[in-house]
Amino acid sequence: MNNFMEIVEEIKNIVSSEFGERKVFDKDVADLLNISQMNFATMKKRNKIPFSELLDFCARKSISINWILYGQSPESLVEATNKFYMIKYFNDVSASAGGGAEVLHEEIEELEIPQQFVFMLGGEKELKYIEAINVSGDSMEPTFSYNDIVFINRNKTDLGRGGIFTLRTEAGLFIKRVQKRMDGKIDIISDNKAYSTQTLNLNEIEVIGRVVSRFGDVD
């Protein structure tokens, strides 16, 4: 997969004709992606790919995100089209990595993913269980950041081995690392050490599913 700057350069190539003879700068790419200069600089420093903004950009330009992420030429995408897969994407749903998130309209879109990405989600047999939602908040930094798109396997709800899960509690919808204690209670852990661990009883938690990827591996 291309890194942040390779993606920026690809976008510059795509839009260069719109700028005439003027050079396309990083600030132009930030504007095209509707990202502030400050957030753009942070993403560049961290090599953090803005997946949600890229999806919007590709939709506006009627191009495949596979072209942006993997540097495939338009010609190669003709053959690759038959190897794309569609999964449910709840664009209006954000799970908080911070203080809780509200579920809005639950508008379902179809998210196109390339064949190269399917194995990260567990293979074709698991795709029927996969759904994608957005992230808000910063308590799971650096694992997840605001506006990341994460992929959840709703068939994986066993907390026994721990891991990162999407959970619903009385406080809202969350993405958190969990660990089952010897007494049966569940530690709700933030990767950002500025946030404290919360401990809940199992009956206080609704497990939506295990987070299996975010256009990349999840620890």
Q: What is the pLDDT of residues 115-127, one digit of tens each?
A: 777 877 888 899 9
Q: Determine the average pLDDT of the residues in 40-59.
A: 85
Average pLDDT, the chain: 82
Beta-bridged to residue 170, according to DSSP, are none
Structure confidence at residue 35 (pLDDT): 92
State the distance between the two ends of the chain, measured CA to CA, in whole angstroms.
18
- In angstroms, the Cα distances linking 14 to 81, 136, 153, 175 are 20, 30, 34, 35
Residue 143 has pLDDT above 80, yes or no: yes
Question: Would you state the structure tokens that stand for residue 69, as one six-digit string?
Answer: 């992420």
Q: Determine the average pLDDT of the residues in 133-146.
A: 86
Q: Determine the average pLDDT of the residues in 135-162.
A: 89
- Predicted confidence band at 106 (pLDDT cuts at 50, 70, 90)? low
Question: Would you state the structure tokens that stand for residue 126, as one six-digit string?
Answer: 């698991």
Structure confidence at residue 200 (pLDDT): 95
Please check whether the domain covering 85-219 is classified as CATH 1.10.10.10: no
- How far is residue 112's CA from residue 66's CA, in Å, rounded to a whole number? 9
- Predicted confidence band at 179 (pLDDT cuts at 50, 70, 90)? very high
* Residue 80 near residue 74, CB atoms below 8 Å: no
- In angstroms, the Cα distances linking 137 to 55, 141, 142, 145, 189 are 20, 9, 11, 7, 14
Please check whether the domain covering 1-83 is classified as CATH 1.10.3470: no
Structural domain boundaries of the chain?
Answer: 1-83, 85-219
Residue 196 has pLDDT above 90, yes or no: yes
* 215, 128, 59, 3: CA torsion to nearest 10: 10
Residue 98 has pLDDT above 60, yes or no: no
- Predicted confidence band at 99 (pLDDT cuts at 50, 70, 90)? very low
Among the listed residues 187, 95, 92, the one whose alpha carbon sits nearest the alpha carbon of residue 140:
95
Percentage of residues in the chain with pLDDT exceeding 90?
40
Q: Determine the average pLDDT of the residues in 139-163.
A: 89
Question: Would you state the structure tokens that stand for residue 52, as one six-digit string?
Answer: 């949600």
Question: Would you state the structure tokens that stand for residue 158, as one six-digit string?
Answer: 């066993």
- In our burial notation (b when 16+ CB lie closer than 10 A, e otherwise), range 152-171 reads bbeebeebeeebbbbbeeee
Say how many C-beta atoms besides its own lie within 10 A of residue 142's C-beta: 10
Percentage of residues in the chain with pLDDT exceeding 70?
84
Q: What is the pLDDT of residues 52-94, one digit of tens each?
A: 788 888 878 877 777 787 766 554 444 444 466 778 887 766 6
Residue 146 has pLDDT above 90, yes or no: no
